[in-house]
Structure formats: structure tokens, C-alpha cells
Structure 1
Amino acid sequence: MTSRNPWSRPVGRRSVLVGTALGATALLAGSQLRFAGRSRAEGADPWAGWQPPVQSFPNTFIEQNVPIPMDDGVTIRADVWYPADESGAKVPGRYPVVVTTHCYGKALLGAMADYSRYGYVVVVADSRGTGASEGSFGLLDDREGADAYAIVEWAGTQPFSTGKVGVDGFSYLGATAAKTAATRPPHLAAANFGGAPTDPYRTFITQGGNWSSSSALWFALELLGVAPLPFTLNSYGGLDVQPRNPTTDIATFLTRLQTDGSSIPYRFAELQRLIDGSNNFDNGFWQERTTDVGNIDVPTLVYSGWADLFLRDTPRDFRALPLERGSKLMAIGPWTHYSLPKHIGSRNDQPIDDLLISWFDRWLKGIDNGVDRLDPVLLWENGSERWAGHDDWPVAGTSYDRLHLTGTRSGTSNSLNDGTLTALPAATAGSDTEVIDPLAGVCSRQTVQYLGGLPVYLPIAFFMPEFPISEFPGIDQIAPCFRTDDRANEQGALTWTTAPTGTDLLFTGPVALTLHGSTTAADPVWVARLSDVAPDGTARPIGEGALVASRRALDPARTKYSPDGDVVEPFHIHTHEAVLPVPRDAVETYNVEIWPTSWRVTAGHRLRLTIDGAEFPHLLPNASTPDRLGTLTVHYGPDRQSFLNLPVHQGAFP
């Protein structure tokens, strides 16, 4: 089935009769309805016309622990990085300012690029309750947003400032940058944020309502911001360790422990609330920490990687930015969260730092470098392994095509059922059942993805510190199970596979699974994985999604539908009040959100869907784990069509 643009919300799920009729006419005519718009010619260089920045200062001077007063009497402390000459002395002058705030300790991590050597002053602030800053840590709460607003305004009015400020950050730093930009400080003139969990409940803390390993990883990493460090780490262009005077850091830390103790107990209290499930809902706590990027009114660059653990929010953020062409840009590369370096450009050999600096050069300095004339959407195209430029998200020419689950054997998989995916609806009713294995998925791409690539980077850091990591982009993808064969995860699971494609097929965007399922478990998790199956049988992982059965309630106002009513981008409610019963053996409808991708299935390859009941360690055990055990049964047939919805913009599946 083919459908039109789902991003303009129809009036009612099935009320756009004209769109439905047009879809049926196109299907009968053997044609496809696709989004209007322009997409760059295939094979063209999407980076053409962009001029990367040129370094203008040889060194950086760092002023440590500069106090910034807040309106409630708390003092936030920041390190201020200035352009410096050959001798390391600060070069006087007025410069645009880049601000970043975070919870990991400003001595350990600065801005995302070496802005000071390109003519910027950089203000790196410890979030309230971390590092040398006073107060209590609030984990992206409104108070942290108010602090960031005040820091931007302070930076914009200092003698070293031109009055133009940009916010910058990646990961948690990206979330704070987005939150800051959404508060609209008057001196803010541009923003960039990457790998940012702007909807932390759905993207960071859980997936589909199940506690995620990414949140456990973060609760370990953010403890780095608790204790002071005796040095400042400047890793731009090589490791440069600069001594610190830790007096202020230590004094603030001791005072914090003596007064409210929030530096450590608060963090473990929040971790415990996730383990026991008491805070595993999209409640007021998480809603306060969600950023409405629709409030951002300055030119904004967002970026992520197809295997980034926070990928979900980046395309959604780009789509929500109320900005004109040229003033918003999105780049998604072949990266995990911690991929180092992240490469871009015509030959995919330039650091993404160049793009970040160029963005601020354009909007904070007025340099005509062509960055605002790039295609607004720059995507790494998996399968063809190249960059492609597009006008918008979803990309021009996209149609949503159904691939139906059927009981016909494909003869390609050693799974429990070896079913077939086909463009034709299932003509015969059937079902397939598996027993849930709580350790399923232990060797899957998601193990690496949701630990940010650290299974590769940590051993290198500890055991091979001299390894020239900058010369090996994407080295995190050599981790076991990341790019290799996913067939091991199919044994004991259920699969459906297409016939080989006759020509290349390209799909780009979010993927949705509409599933009719029943279970003997009290509250299982449905896991859906996609893979690209080569002629030799190798199954290369593409992406996945997950949904806890009781969390299946959709928010119709935020879910994207096709005009004929198909769910093409689910948005689940996830509040305590929205939890639905899971009657034993009752057939229910589940809409599983599979995170977006851009993937070329080359001629002769197949697409495979795997359905499982666990994905360990990505989907972590918690107090609800006993409810996850039992059987899963997938139903299909004339009255219960289960199907994938794929955002296809080149070719068609058989």
C-alpha cells in the first residue's frame, strides 16, 4: 500500500477521502505517490560550495573558575577560553562567544570544537551542583535552564564580547544547549547541538517504556562531575594537560557534601527509582526535562549518527524547528555516540568541528562561507556509503509502502518460523510463536549502539593510550556484532524476509511496525530488528525498535499517520494513567517505533524483520523483568494484517 505525506496531520485518522482515493488510484495504476520537493541529483556532491574555516590563532589561554552570579544567590563557575598568541598570552579584543554548560566537570570536557583558535571566546560552565558551581544538581530541570539563560546574557555583556553568543554541545551538553536556546536569551544568535536527548524519557531513559542501558551508562559517567580534578584537559589537536588550582573546586565540593549531599545521593536515588520502576513513566519529572525545540528562534544546526544512542530526537528536532531554509541544518553520519572523529565532507575526511565552526562563523561573524546554502538535510546513505543532500525531512519523493507478514516460508533463515515479507497482504490467517529468552540480543548492534561505542573506545583508552585513534574513523564499528552477521540473533526468534530486490531500493526516514500480537507474559516487550540480507546470507543490522505491551497507547495528536490511517511514526503516551491491561492470550494491536535510517538495499539483497522478546543488555532488567517472561505470538491474515511501513523513495519491494 502506498500513501502520501503523513507529516501534515489529517483531520481524523481516516477522514481524508481524497488522499485515500488518490492512493488507491496510484496503486491500481502501478505508480507511487511521493512527496513534492527537490532532492539533489543522485551522486552529486552535497558539500559543494561550502568553505571550511581557517584557524586564526595558534593557542588558547584559559581563565579558571570565573564566578557568574545567578538570581537566587548561587554562584556558577566557568572556565573562559580566550584566543592566544604563540607565547600563550591572551590576545585582547572583542569576540563572539560560544557557551556550553554541562555536568561532567568543565576541567574534563570543553566545547565541541576548538573555537578559541578560530576567534571566539568560549565559556565552559559547570552546571549547578557540579564541579565548582554551587547549588544542587537538577538534571536538566527548569532551574538549569534558567541558569543557562543567565550565563548567555552574562557572556553577551562582558568586555570581551561582541554581544553575539552561540550555544554549543553534544550529548548532555547538547541537551543543555537545546534547552538554553529554547529559553530565547536576547544575546543568543545561533545554536548547534548534536546527539542530544531533548525528549529524555523516550530517547535516553527508556525505549518503548523499558529501562535502557544508555541511562545506566549516563548515571556512571555523570559522577565525573562530582569531584574536582587537578588539571584541565585540552584535547584539541593533541592531548594538552594544564594544571589547575583546585582550591575553589575542593571548597565547593566539601560545602556541597556538608550542606545537602546532593552530589552523590541524589544521583543514586534517581537510579533506584528507575530500577524499581517508580519513575519509569513520562511524568512531570521527565516532562520538565523535555525541550520544546519549537521555541528556538535562532539559526540552528543539529547532528547525530545513525547508530547514535540518542538518534531518535535529532530528525524530530529538525522538523520542529520553526526556521527558514538556510537557517537550519541537519547532518546524520555513520557514527555511534562516541565515534571519534566524526567525519564529513566530499571525501568524508573532514572533522565535523569544521561544520560547527562554519555555522558560528556564518551567524556570529557574518562570514559568507556557503554553509547556509548547503542542502538543509545531509545524510550518510548506508549501503552506498556516501553522503546525500536533501531539501527536507522526510526527504522529497518519499512514499510509505507496506510490507506484510505472511506464513509462507522464505527459505533464507534458521529462525523458528522463516516467514516472508511481501507487498501483497496475507491471504491466509496464521500465527507464529516464540518462547521469550531474557538474554536474547546480547550480541547485537544495539549492545554497541546503546553503550555509545564504548566497548571499543574504553579498551583503547586504558590499554592502548598511544593508539592514533583520529586516523581510524568509525573504529567503534569493528566491535563484535556491530556490522557483522545478525543471524545468530535470529535463532529462537521469529523472522520475515522479502524476496531479493531486482534493482536498488532506497528508504529514508522513520520505520513503523503495525503488529497484531498475543502473549502469555504479564507484560512483555516487543522488539523489532531490521537487517539487510546479502546473497550469501549475511544479515547486516539496520536498526530496531521496542515497545512494552502495556505502553501501547498512542497520542493521536503527536503520532504521524498516512491519509489512509496507517501509523508511520508512533508517539506513545507512557504516563501511569495510560497503562493498558495485557490480557493473557488476547490479540492486541501494537505500533512499534523503529528508529530512522537511510538505507540502500542493493539489487539481489533482501530485507528481514526479526521479532523477539528481549534485547539484553540494551533493554536492562528491572523490577518488571518477571513480567517479561512467557511466550509471544504474532498473528497475520485477512482480518489481522501485520506489516512494516517503510519510507521508500527509490524502487519497490517485490
Structure 2
Amino acid sequence: MSAFLARLLTVTLLAGLCLVGSGPAATADWAPGPAVFGMGSRQEVPVTMDDGTVLRADVHYPTNPDGTPAEGPFPVVLTQTPYGALMSVAPGLTDPEAGLALLGGGNRHLVERGYINVIADVRGTGGSQGVWDFLGKREALDGAALVRWAADLPNSSGVVGLEGASYMAINQFFTVAELGEDSPVKAMFPIVPSLDPYRDMTFPGGNFGVASNVLYLAMTGFMQLVNAATAGNPDLATVLLQRAAGLLSFHADLLLQAVGNGELVNDGPYWRSRSPRSVLPQVVATGVPIQMVGGWDDVFERGQLLLYNDLQTIAAGGEQGRPMTPDQPVDPDYRMVMGPWHHVTAGAGIDMDRLRVQWFDHHLKGVDTGLTGPPLRLNEVGTDRWVGATHFPFPEATPTVLHPGAHGSLSTTAPTRSGTDTIIYAPLAVPCNRGLDQATAGGLVAVFNALRLPPPCTYNDNLTQLPLLGKTYTTEPFDSPQTIAGPLSASILATASRSDTQFAVTVSTVAPNGLSRPVASGSLLGSHRAVDESRSWRAPDGSYLLPFHPYTLEAKQPVRIGAKTRYDIEVPTTFARVEAGHRLRVTVSSADTPRLLSTPLNLLNQLGGIYGVEWGPGASHFQIPMAPADAFAEAPAVG
């Protein structure tokens, strides 16, 4: 049976069964119903895998007024977490209920509306036995087994939805791919997922993502040991030894390889097998609908609209990795909401409960919940405005080449003469920048918000633009409001005095009072400048819209000292307003700390470097797609 027919038949059958909480509902009038049930829980339920390893899961189920389990049948929503019980009871940074769902705890809102909610500890974490296989094949096999087990729980309807944020978003793709067609999974709800962990967070631009990686390794290492000791596991000694093995095989190994330029420093089989990109064709073949939530300031932001693009392109029969064409049909089962969020604040300010129930009621219960309108809902950075879109890259935007020139000018008109701007390599930059807030998952922003203080870095990058730290290029004020609608790129033609380079490029909007607000930033290690043409996107004029770098050991090449060399730098997508009277600024520098830091051997090849950035005919330029601010129609984030 084809995935499409299976999905159609499932929806029809579920509608006919009149599951709890379903029934006829007019599209225009739909709203999440009130709480109908209480919530009961069974903690640390053992689930045995095919190799004898015992995983543990918490099962939260609807109850009657007297506390007894309600009969159902109920759909199951499953989350697979590596963070264990300690995070499951942690309060959220913005909203307690949202925090529980984000971190892997039980979702009371769903349970009270007729869902069984299962939170399972992945192998080697929480109360589960085994050694953690970070997004690996063994974990995918476990995920498939957990889905089948959850579908057979008492009072289950036999259909399953997958939900979760970050790691718990990424592993949904591997689970669905492993299950294949006609599985119990009928819907996914990934929040702040990654398309490609190597490029999105671990080694963006080919450099070590020091802030994100160190925080993540420290957090997960601590959590795994604490959760193992507090989970009440009867075989505690064995589990603790397994945790130690996991820490050595992933945490210590990644850090040691970063220090010694080991295999994991470059892209290769390890990272590719842990990238959802590698299984998207199998995911699309299953026909499972996917509602994604991403954030413009999320640590995984780079890959989120690319993930939407790939799902749509594969579904339309196109080649994965190629951009959607303006006339390409759009599959309404692949949707995304992109908001003004960091990693830990995803969904803040919108009705995430409504979005979640609307999605699961439609696909797991067969309710007509009014899933219409544009599949892309985008917050315009710098405003409270939400708009709708269908295609990415955005056909409403015109790819626009901006040329740097004398005295820091930036214009659509190429300069008629040539010049050179000097940048002195500095391994460290002013830490108060957008990258710090993004790489630390928004934790610092959340602290300032809790103290009711304005975050000092997120909306102001003037300090990073000091002359010795980089070179800025700024346009004249805009006559009318425009929207930067990426993806973006920078092509830097430069000489260097050392055998490796590091370039960081930041795009900012500048208010009349001089306040510079960063909206997008990218970077590139010079020795990783090779471009894979087959996976790169070009604008109509032939310049790069999105250069794709292999980042493999085989593609790596030293920089020729003193030779003019082109560096094509990917600048992750933004969707940002430039108001009338405001200007656009591009800053080229040599550092983006503490978000990025070169590994020690690469650093030795950069120290003492002096760069000559060339501008003029045929020299450096920036590709920034622009659209009139009214080119996109307003649409609610949820509805």
C-alpha cells in the first residue's frame, strides 16, 4: 500500500471510530477542547530491546475523576530523551508547562485531552541500560522498538505521534526512517531540529563550536551520571560502568579529537550517519506528516529552513539538496513555524498547546482542525509581524549583490576602482555578540529576561565592529522598508600571510541613531574553502546564493600565502526587516568567539595572519536577497 493511501485510510478509519476527544468539528470553529481527564503516571516502566538491554519509560495516561485509568482508546505521543528524569522535572525557563515538554517531561495538556504521553530514556541515559549511541543506528533500532511497544500499551488506539525538542526532535527522523512505511507513527512534531549537526552546531564553518559543544558535553555528562544514580535502578553498578564507557566513547573522544585534529574534526561517515539529511528520502517515503518549529536565534537555525526545503523537494520528486523551484507543488503535510526564539525559548509568545493539539488531533484522531493556509509561518526579525510563505528559497525576494567599496561603503553599484582593506587576525573577539547568545542556547538571554534587564548582546553588535577587529561596509539609508529574505552569502577575495585563515561575516541593520542589530552571521575556515557545486545554490547572475562546503579531510587545502584567494562563505538564512531610513551593514572579521574557536593545529596556522580584503571590479561581494516589506502577506503563527 502506498504511503499516501495508507495515510488517507488511517485518517478515514480514525474518524469513523469516534475516538475520545474527536468527532465532527467545523474547520473555522475548531479550538482545543477543555481538559476532560486527569493524569496518572507509571514511572520507570521497563522495555526490553532485542539484545536484552532494558530501557525505561514514564507513561502518563488519562484518568477518570476517581483516578482510575480511562478506557480510551487514546493515541500515544512518544518522546525519546537523553536527559533523563532530572530534566523531566525541571521547570521551563519561560513557562513551566512549555519547559516540561521542551525538556522531555510529561505533557499534561495532551493527557488531559485524551492522549497517552510516553517519555522514554534512550539507551545509556536516564534509567536505561546500555552505552549511549549518540544518534546512532542502535538508537534508531531502539526507537522503532519503543514505537511498537507504545502502540500496544493498554487503552492505546494503536497510532503514535512523535514529539520533542532538540535531540528529541532529531531522533524522530531516524525512528521514522527505521520503521518504514505502514508503521504506527502517523505524525511528527519536531521542535528546534537540526538538519546536519556537524554544520549546524558542532563545526560550523569548519571550526569547533566551542561554546555550544563544551556546554552540551558538560550538561549531558553530568546528567547521565546523576540520573543513573537517582533513577532507582536495581543494577546501579552496571549502569554506572556503562555511563563511564559512554562518557569515554563520546564526550572525551570528541574533545580529544578536537584538540588533536582527529577524524571527527572533519565531516565524514560518523557525522553523515547522524544527520537527518541522510534519512530524509526514507522519511518522505513513509508519508508521515511533519510540523516543525524553528527559531531565528536557535543554535540549529542554519539547517531548519533547509530541512523544510529538502522535505518539500523530495516529496515533489526533486533531487535532495536542490532548492525548491517557484512553480514546484507544495506538500501541506510538511510545515514549519520560524519564530524569534533561542533554543530554550522555542514557542514562547505563541499558543504552542493549540499548535500541538491541532496537529495531533488532525493526524492521530481524524479531527478536521483547520490545517489550512501557508505551510511556512515566519516572524519578521525585528518586528512583531508574522507572515506566510510556501517556498524556500523565497521567490518573492530578488537576489541582490552588494559591493564593498572605498571608505566602508556598500552599494548595489560595483566600484570602478580597486582597493584593499587590511584585517589583522585575532583569535578572540568581543564576546558580547549574537553568536554568544545563540551558541549558549539563549540561556544568558533567559537570565536577563528573568531579571527584567535588556540582553546586552542580542540586539547590539557595535562593540564587535571596532576597526582593529574587522572591517564594516554600510549602505546608504533605505528609501522604503525592505525584508532580507535569505539565504545569504559572502564571497571574499583576499590575500593572507599565513597558511590558513578564518573569516566571520555578520549582517546587521543600523538604526538612524547608529545602533547596529545583528540578524545573520556565518564563518569559514580558509582551508575548508572548497565548494561542492552539485550541492550549492546559485543566483540568476551566477553568484553563490548558498555555497556548500564538503568539510572533508580530502577536500581540505592550505591557503597559498600572498596569493589572491576566494572564500565563499555561507551566511545562514534570516528574514529581517530593514526600515525606511535604516541602513544595512556587513562586517568582515577574523573571529567569532566564544561561538567558534579553531582547533589547536589550525590555530597555529592562523596566528600572526594579516588579510588583505580586495574590493573593486570582480573582487569581494555579498549576496543578500531582498523583497519589498509588503511582498509577504500577514498570517498568524498558529491557526
- Equivalent residue, structure 2, for 1:542: 519
2:268 equivalent to 1:283: yes
- Equivalent residue, structure 2, for 1:632: 611
Measured in 2, the distance between the counterparts of 1:93 and 1:400 equals: 53
1:183 Cα deviation (Å)?
A: 2.6
- Equivalent residue, structure 2, for 1:261: 244
- Equivalent residue, structure 2, for 1:585: 562
1:97 Cα deviation (Å)?
A: 0.8
Measured in 1, the distance between the counterparts of 2:217 and 2:356 equals: 28
2:365 equivalent to 1:376: no
> Structure 2 counterpart of 1:632, which letter?
Y
CA contact (8 A) 2:293 2:347 kept: no
- Equivalent residue, structure 1, for 2:467: 491
Q: Residue 254 of structure 2 aligns to a residue in which SS?
A: helix
- Equivalent residue, structure 2, for 1:313: 303
Deviations 1:519-569 (A, max 9, x none): 123322110001101111111111100000000111212111124421101
Q: Select the residue among 167, 172, 190 that pairs with 1:172.
A: 167
Alignment of 1:221-260 (within 5 A): 221-229=219-227, 246-248=231-233, 251-258=234-241
Q: Residue 84 of structure 2 aligns to a residue in which SS?
A: coil
Distance 1:160 1:584, change over 3 A: same
Alignment of 1:251-650 (within 5 A): 251-258=234-241, 261-266=244-249, 267-278=251-262, 279-292=264-277, 293-296=280-283, 297-321=287-311, 322-323=314-315, 325-339=331-345, 342-344=348-350, 350=351, 352-370=352-370, 372-407=371-406, 409=407, 419-457=408-446, 478-492=454-468, 493-620=470-597, 622-623=599-600, 624-629=602-607, 630-638=609-617, 640-650=618-628
2:73 equivalent to 1:94: yes
Q: Could you tell me which runs of 5 or more consecutive residues in structure 2 were left unpaired when the two chains were aligned.
A: 1-26, 89-99, 316-329, 631-639
1:394 Cα deviation (Å)?
A: 2.2
1:194 Cα deviation (Å)?
A: 1.8
> Structure 2 counterpart of 1:386, which letter?
R
Distance 1:52 1:404, change over 3 A: farther
TM-score (norm 1): 0.81
> Structure 1 counterpart of 2:305, which letter?
P
Measured in 1, the distance between the counterparts of 2:113 and 2:214 equals: 36
1:354 Cα deviation (Å)?
A: 2.2
Q: Residue 201 of structure 1 aligns to a residue in which SS?
A: helix
1:160 Cα deviation (Å)?
A: 2.5
1:326 Cα deviation (Å)?
A: 2.2
CA contact (8 A) 1:226 1:263 kept: no
Measured in 1, the distance between the counterparts of 2:508 and 2:121 equals: 42
Distance 1:341 1:303, change over 3 A: closer
Measured in 2, the distance between the counterparts of 1:169 and 1:260 equals: 23
Deviations 1:618-638 (A, max 9, x none): 113531323232112211222
Runs of 4+ in 1 over 6 A off after TM superposition: none
Distance 1:440 1:247, change over 3 A: closer
> Structure 1 counterpart of 2:404, which letter?
L
Which piece of structure 1 moves more, 168-177 or 180-189? 180-189
Deviations 1:582-641 (A, max 9, x none): 111211111111111111111111100000101111113531323232112211222x33
1:458 Cα deviation (Å)?
A: 5.4
> Structure 2 counterpart of 1:285, which letter?
Y
Distance 1:576 1:123, change over 3 A: same
Deviations 1:483-534 (A, max 9, x none): 1352553332101111111111112121111111221233221100011011
Measured in 2, the distance between the counterparts of 1:151 and 1:174 equals: 16
Q: Residue 572 of structure 2 aligns to a residue in which SS?
A: strand
- Equivalent residue, structure 1, for 2:51: 72
Deviations 1:107-133 (A, max 9, x none): 523644542222111111111111111
CA contact (8 A) 1:425 1:641 kept: no
1:146 Cα deviation (Å)?
A: 1.3
- Equivalent residue, structure 2, for 1:183: 178
Measured in 2, the distance between the counterparts of 1:337 and 1:457 equals: 10
Measured in 1, the distance between the counterparts of 2:629 and 2:340 equals: 23
Deviations 1:130-163 (A, max 9, x none): 1111111111011111111111122123332212
CA contact (8 A) 2:191 2:346 kept: no
Higher strand share: 1
Q: Could you tell me which runs of 5 or more consecutive residues in structure 1 were left unpaired when the two chains were aligned.
A: 1-47, 232-243, 345-349, 410-418, 461-466, 470-474
Root mean square deviation, CA, Å: 2.4
Measured in 2, the distance between the counterparts of 1:380 and 1:209 equals: 29
Percentage of matched positions with identical amino acids: 31
Q: Residue 158 of structure 1 aligns to a residue in which SS?
A: coil
